[in-house]
Amino acid sequence: MTHRRDRTLFTSGLARVEGEGAMYVRVDGSTVEEVRLDIYEPPRFFEAFLRGRSYTEPPDITARVCGICPVAYQTSACLAIEDACGARVDGAIADLRRLLYCGEWIGSHALHIYMLHAPDFLGFPGVVEMAAEHREIVERGLALRGAGNAIMELLGGRSIHPVNVRVGGFYRAPSPAELAPLAQQLRSALPLAVDTVRWVAGFDFPDFTCPHELLALADPGRYPIERGTLATSGGLAFTAAEFEQHITEEQVPHSTALHARLAGNGRGSDGRYLTGPLARYTLNAGSLPPLATQAAAEAGLGPDCRNPFRSIIVRAVEIVCAIEEALRLIDGYHPPAKPAVAVTARAATGYGVSEAPRGVLYHRYEIDADGIIRSARIVPPTSQNQRAIEDDLLRFVQDRLDLDDSQLTSVCEQAIRNYDPCISCATHFLDLRVDRR
Amino acid sequence: MTAAEAEGRAVVIGVGNEFRRDDGAGLAVVARLRGHLPDDVCLLVSDGEPTRLIEAWAGAPVAVIVDAVRAEPAVPGRLHRLVLHRAGAAVAPPASSHGLGLDCAIGLAQALDRMPGRLILHAVEVADVGQGTGLTPAVAATIDTLAAAVLVDLDSPRRHPA
């Protein structure tokens, strides 16, 4: 236990790039005065990069924003461009879009649950140490990740930065015969997903509640994934075109990332809100497919979930949901006459939202009559969550001031992992330390 | 079973992101090698995510990774070649699943018996990983050398079978 009056914790190792993801906690006596989370945001560069490019390019360019959720960027981009051009994508093409997105959810959630989050609850430093003692469990995670990648590879052409997505649909639609082995792989993965829910439901969770407004998509009759309108736990409902009327962004001195606020928030929490698995589940639990509903009930999830540590259960339930949905879509699949609808450029502004694994992802494009992009705006889920994460961390630290600095830093990092923030996902290089003796 | 395992093929994996300047060095080497490799060599690009790396190299007799590295002190363009047998010293887990990387991949592959026969890393020290495309001159000047070094590593088992 420390008896120092003033304490400052600083963690810079949140990202591969030093200084691009950092956490700062300032404590005065027995009061936490400030928590800052500095997260570097790749989308801001892409907004500028897109200006002057053709309206057909955003799906390929914005896929490069994130190696883990490229389909989210591609889908929100397609929706926004199609909205601007007055094109409507439905039927089998829309089903393929949802199927591809299911692959991303399965892969992203399996990666987070098994490779990052579960070791925290089981007391392992990381997945490597967990694999040494629980090889069969980690193999299960890799099998689920593989099932998600298989969808991405078949529909997207490859699992990273898919190349088969275009404005209006796809370059090529698969045949039912090509989908048959994928369905077999998904049927094998479904019990693994249910086992995952049971496994994570048995973890010990700190008693913690996030009080923030929740924001998620709503898609009548089904769990929101690749399309929808917006809804909040406070009762607001609006369309993608109205997003910027309700969500404002502002610069803050300590971060390169813009902070988002929900205007007219009735909870008196200064516009803080949370998007992502907790919001999706709490606002849409009644729309889960049957097996996911049953798994959630067995796991003890009630009608809502506001404990960020239990987000690991929600992610596991969403894997079940995504596999159920993928199988339903494959079973009912009839190839479209053409893999894409024609999308003709016109001078207009379009808006698109979808549910990335980490939450609502908003795109807006202004294009001219020649199809040239005049402006672009991308609001990723992590920047929307940043203020809520900081507020959660402040209250979390306040209740744990008896820990020494090292322990406190460690539990703060675990708490951040609840949200799986998209930190510096546009950069991937190694750190090399030269130790000369 | 991966493609490499099914066919017993060697694999070359360029790791990086072309939108972060010198971080695209591994991808530039892959582009340089395209069309110059025997049919039995898989040529891939990766963002470094561990499960995809393991899937790419599992069962391969040899896997060659080409990546950019930061170093202190840095000499942009300086090359490193490492034969990797095991993961480095344990490091704290990242705060995000976006932070998992090559070291995690090697440790996990060892634990799950999914290492390739030989794993070789070619790395180039970077000058600039800011936003934008294009390599800095110091790193761009190494691409041909790196590509040639990869070819030597792929060829050496044929000349000197174990």
* Spans of chain A, pLDDT less than 50: 1-4, 11-19, 266, 425-437
Q: What is the dihedral of CA B134, A163, B41, B63, to 10 degrees?
A: 70
Q: Which of A230, A200, A388, A189 is nearest to A310 (CA)?
A: A200
Contact indicator for A380, A41 with CB cutoff of 8 Å: yes
Q: Name the residue facing B72 among A15, A424, A433 (closest C-beta).
A: A433
Per-residue buried b or exposed e for A271-296, using 16+ beta carbons within 10 Å of the residue's own CB: bbbbbbbbbbbbbbbebbbebbbebb
Q: Determine phi and psi for A134, rounding to 5 degrees.
A: -130, 60
> Within 10 Å of residue A178's Cβ, how many Cβ atoms?
12
With respect to CATH, is domain A43-211+218-387 assigned 1.10.10.10? no
> Does B80 lie at the interface with A, CB-CB under 8 angstroms?
yes
Distance CA A383, CA A317 (A): 25
For chain A, the structural domain boundaries read: 43-211+218-387
Cβ–Cβ under 8 Å, residues A424 and A245 = no
Q: Taking a C-beta distance cutoff of 8 angstroms, is the pair B14, B135 a contact?
A: no
Q: What is the pLDDT of residue B161?
A: 40
* Yes or no, beta carbons of A423 and B96 under 8 Å apart: yes
Instruction: Tell me the count of A-B CB pairs closer than 8 A.
Output: 170
- What is the ipTM metric for this complex? 0.83
Instruction: Answer for the pair A24, A34: CB distance below 8 angstroms, yes or no.
Output: yes
Q: Would you state the pLDDT for residue A28?
A: 83
Task: Tell me the HSE value of A399 on the side-chain side, using a 13 A CA sphere.
Answer: 12
Q: Of chain B residues 133-162, which have a CB less than 8 A from chain A? A: none
Residue among B20, B55, B95 minimizing CB distance to A146: B55
Nearest to B92 among A13, A111, A432 (CB): A13
Task: Inspect the interface and report whether the beta carbons of B123 and A432 lie closer than 8 Å.
Answer: yes
The closest of A292, A367, A354, A278 to A323, measured between CA atoms, is: A292
Which residues in chain B touch residue A19, judged by CB atoms under 8 angstroms apart?
Answer: none
Residue A79 φ/ψ, nearest 5 degrees:
-60, -40
pLDDT at A32: 86
pLDDT of res. A412: 82
List, as ranges, residues 90-109 from A with C-beta within 8 Å of B: 108
The rounded distance, in Å, linking the Cα atoms of A315 and A303 is 15
Domains of chain B: 3-157 (3.40.50.1450)
Chain A from 128 to 187: CB within 8 A of any B CB: 128-129, 131-132, 135, 138-139, 142, 145-146, 149, 159-160
What whole-number distance in Å separates Cα of residue A339 and Cα of residue A413?
Answer: 44
Looking at residue A421, its pLDDT comes to: 80
Amino acid B157: pLDDT: 58
pTM of the model: 0.90
Contact B95 A429 (CB under 8 A): no
Between CA A166 and CA B157 the distance in angstroms is 43
A229 versus B92: the higher-pLDDT residue is: A229
Confidence category of residue B98, pLDDT binned at 50, 70, 90: low
Kindly determine whether residue B100 and residue A425, on different chains, have CB atoms separated by under 8 Å: no
**Which residue in chain A has the smallest CA separation from B96?**
A420
Query: Chain B contact for A67, CB < 8 A?
Result: yes
